[in-house]
Amino acid sequence: QVQLVESGGGLVQAGGSLRLSCAASGGTFSSYVMGWFRQAPGKEREFVSVINWSDGSTAYADAVKGRSTISRDNAKNTVYLQMNSLKPEDTAVYYCAARARGSAWTQGYWGQGTQVTVSS
């Protein structure tokens, strides 16, 4: 059973940084795509970033491009999201997700989320 556990959220001032972690277990992740999504109060969940575990290729939402870096540690089965120059509009619950290549996110696995709050 695949499990994803996020950590690293918290309260930070605008302009600050946070590094979110997603510890994955219960699967062979070399064939997976790992993603970060976020959901702000009253808004729908939105894509933030994605990394292909096998080759490390990445993609970012325009809202975070240039301010965030997604990476993975194969030995620790952990995916990170480094977020810099944080803005109040980055405030949201951040979710880690995993899906097999070729499948939809709705068919994948999701963590419980970690709260990120950016104060102005």
Per residue in 6-46, pLDDT (tens digit) is 999 999 999 999 999 999 999 888 889 999 999 999 999 99
Residues whose CB falls within 8 Å of the CB of residue 14, separated by 6 or more in sequence, listed in order = 86, 87, 88, 118, 119, 120
* DSSP structural state of residue 85: S
Q: What is the pLDDT of residues 87-118, one digit of tens each?
A: 999 999 999 999 999 999 999 999 999 999 99
Q: Assess contact for 84 and 17: CB atoms under 8 A.
A: yes
